[in-house]
Amino acid sequence: MKSFRGKVAAITGAGSGMGQAIARSLASQGCHIAISDIDEANLQQTAESLSRYTVKVSTHPLDVADRAAVETFAEDVVANHGQVHMVFNNAGVSVTDSAEHMSYDDMEWLMNINFWGVIYGTKSFLPYLQRVDDAHIINTSSIFGSIAVPSQSIYNASKFAVKGYTFALRQELAETHINVSCVQPGGVKTGIVNSSRYVPQDNASATKEELSEQFESMAQLTSEQAAEQILRGVLKNKAQILVGKDAKFAALIERILPIGYQKLIGKVLDNP
């Protein structure tokens, strides 16, 4: 894909964070936008911010964990725009807890959004992407899809799964007009921790608010900066789009020390 102008992009999780920033950047480049999010108020705010651009914008309240709803979303996008060229399976959540104590309810909630939401988005849009001459599927994993860390076992599981699924899909579609990219952000100021499910281990553990503030202060990129890196990667048809210097560093460490990095993480956590 050489340009976004005149194309149609469907984006999940567009009510805030990277999804919202991607929508704004694409619209500024002449791309028509179909935005979706489970939070209808945030979705409307995103739509209002896109009104200054001379592109068509459609809004779709959506729970990506609902397969039938995602299938309807794909149908509605084509009904509204006539076609679709890109799908950004971006919606995601997090759970912070130990593997031992994490509830099945929390694990299923996260996997249904982070993993199955990507599957539903991919399969629902694929038939429509096959109808256009130039198409792209962009699935959001995480640098935690390459390295594992304590308290993030189910988040790691979902993001490792998304990466594996996306890389396999790219190989399957290699001889077609449909490109596939896996996005792996590092620390991005998206508010994901603030909207996460968090279970403190003991009375000495940080509160959710403290954890959110700590993450935001450590995150190196704004959502807008992340969106620009993602979209540059899409135009270059990169298989893996590492977002941020921390993501690139972590990916390098994992390649050099595929097992040994775990000891490094342990030392960092023991000496914050």
Q: 195: helix, coil or strand?
A: coil
Are the CB atoms for 204 and 260 separated by under 8 Å? no
Q: If you write DSSP's letter for every residue of 17-62 in order, what string do you get?
A: HHHHHHHHHHHHTT-EEEEEES-HHHHHHHHHHHTTSSS-EEEEE-
3-state class percentages of the chain: helix first, strand second, coil last, to nearest 5: 50, 15, 35
Given the residues 53, 120, 128, 155, select the one marked as catalytic: 155
Question: Which DSSP symbol is given to 206?
Answer: P
CA distance 243 to 160: 16
Task: Name the residue among 235, 168, 223, 149 with its Cα closest to residue 192.
Answer: 223
- Specify whether 53 is catalytic: no
CA distance 20 to 11: 9
Burial (Cβ within 10 Å: 0-12, 13-18, ≥19) of residue 78: middle
CA distance 48 to 52: 8
Are the CB atoms for 137 and 129 separated by under 8 Å? yes
CA distance 206 to 213: 10
Q: Indicate which residues carry an active-site annotation.
A: 155
